[in-house]
Amino acid sequence: MSNIVNSDQDTHFFADVCANFDHAAQFTKHDAGLLDQIKSCNSVYRFRFPIRKGNGFEVIDAWRVEHSHHQSPTKGGIRYSEMVNEDEVMALSALMTYKCAIVNVPFGGAKGGIKINPKNYTVQELENITRRYTVELIKKNFIGPNIDVPAPDYGSGEREMSWIADTYATMNPNQGDALGCVTGKPIALHGIAGRREATGRGVAIAARECVSVAEDMQALGLTAGLTGKKVIVQGLGNVGYYSAKFLTEFGATIVGLCEFEGAVYNEDGLDFDAVFQHRKATGSILGFPGAKKEFTRSGEGLEQPCDILVPAALENQITGENVRNIQAKIIVEGANGPTTPEAEAIFYEKGGIIVPDMYANAGGVTVSYFEWVEKPFTRIIRPY
Ligand SMILES: NC(=O)C1=CN([C@@H]2O[C@H](COP(=O)(O)OP(=O)(O)OC[C@H]3O[C@@H](n4cnc5c(N)ncnc54)[C@H](OP(=O)(O)O)[C@@H]3O)[C@@H](O)[C@H]2O)C=CC1
Ligand SMILES: O=C(O)CCC(=O)C(=O)O
């Protein structure tokens, strides 16, 4: 059982992001109207389209939200998840605006969502869905190298980005920079070396910088530096896998890994890649031979002894309900919005440190900027 709570019935993610904004805004002298303008989502495009499935049709719900047009283009990933809803996409698009501002990349924030569980579709069906989604965005001017530039997010990756690039370039045959309509593309299709690893690498660097401050670590009863620090990572997808990889390279010990179906733990250390390969081969993180403990409730994995917890799956994972059981002293947010405001307040009361998402996971959009700024003025030569 996972502890996901972002269902259609429980959607306050955007309100949480706005509450954090209001909290920060009180320390500024900006006009209230201007702050309101910054906070709101500028454009919310909700649409539905049919695809053929089996002998019939299925209607897919989808979104693209452009939170802020203060910079062009707007930028942000596309989430493929059956739990996607409008509130979530709005919240994620707002986080993109603030994230881009923090790392000073010249984009407004945006985000997309396609309400499907990719595991329930064939590759052909996923391609159809992605291409149709792209066409819908083109029709409404919600995509383009200087308009709005998607990227990978939860449930999507290089393959989906290549379908988007190809669809956009096909429909804009005279646009020389068409491939700049999306980032996170495969290297062979004008992607950029390092984008795949970028978010996790950034998370690991953020953790390394955080623990380098000796006084802060002393206050937590820890020594400075990553060497010997015990880490639990939630999510073994793009962000979680590369966070674990680089944290290991920087000297930390991965003691726990949590996935949808459960969690594994070994206080002496887990080989994250062996766990990943085990999950790939068996379909489950459970049953990994190197684990000393395993939990069928994924959330229990978060509550095991460690110094640093890296939630790298979804929002609302550390809540008022489980935060008191979290033994980590530092949370480095790989996912967007993994800690609710209530949990955050309690964690700070306990004396913990949180390295926030919009800084910790900004490596992805930073390297996306490098990919985008190259703006390949290249036509795709197709054999058909
Ligand atoms: N990709 C990127 O560049 C960036 C991503 N992010 C954020 O990072 C987070 C993860 O994204 P990303 O790594 O790309 O997504 P992926 O789809 O690559 O991986 C997500 C992983 O988390 C697992 N998972 C889902 N829910 C749970 C749960 N409740 N408990 C444990 N594991 C779970 C998934 O399992 P399963 O394999 O079963 O689906 C999957 O392995 C999201 O919040 C995203 O917005 C932030 C910045 C950039
Ligand atoms: O690489 C990008 O443009 C966006 C990545 C993303 O969606 C995110 O940082 O949450």
Distance CA 81, CA 8 (A): 12
Specify the CATH number of the domain 13-191: 3.40.50.10860
Residue-wise pLDDT for 261-315, tens only, equals: 999 999 999 999 999 999 999 999 999 999 999 999 999 999 999 999 999 999 9
DSSP letters, 309-356, are EEE-S-SS-B-TTTGGG---SEEE--SSS-B-HHHHHHHHHTT-EEE-
Digit-coded pLDDT (tens) for 174-215: 898 999 999 999 999 999 999 999 999 999 999 999 999 999
**Which ligand is closest to the CA of 197, given by its number?**
1
The CATH 3.40.50.720 domain(s) of the chain lie at: 197-364
CA of 76 to the centre of ligand 2 (A): 4
Could you tell me if 359 and 381 are in contact, meaning their C-beta atoms sit under 8 angstroms apart?
no
Whose tokens are 């967007």? That residue is 336
- The pTM assigned to this predicted structure is 0.95
Q: Give, using CA atoms, the residue closest to atom 32 of ligand 1.
A: 259
Q: Output the pLDDT for position 10.
A: 58
Residue range(s) of every CATH 3.40.50.10860 domain in the chain: 13-191
> What pLDDT band is residue 377 in, cutting at 50, 70 and 90?
low
Element (H, E) at 214: helix 214-219
Ligand 1 in reach of 154 Cβ (< 6 A): yes
Per-residue pLDDT tens for 86-104? 999 999 999 999 999 999 9
CA-CA distance, 66 to 108, in Å (whole number)?
A: 8
How confident is the model over 120-149, as a mean pLDDT? 97
Angstrom distance (rounded) from CA 56 to CA 5: 31
Strands (DSSP E) found in 195-307: 230-234, 253-259, 262-265, 293-295
- CATH homologous superfamily of domain 197-364? NAD(P)-binding Rossmann-like Domain (3.40.50.720)
Minimal CA–CA distance to 5: which of 360, 337, 352?
337
Ligand approaching nearest to the C-alpha of 198: 1
Q: What is the ipTM of this complex?
A: 0.96
CA nearest ligand 2 atom 4, residue: 76
3-state percent helix, strand, coil for the chain, nearest multiple of 5: 40, 20, 40
Rounded to the nearest integer, the mean pLDDT of the chain is 94
Q: Which atom of ligand 2 is nearest to the CA of 369?
A: 3
Q: How many CA atoms lie within 13 A of 115 on its CB side?
A: 21
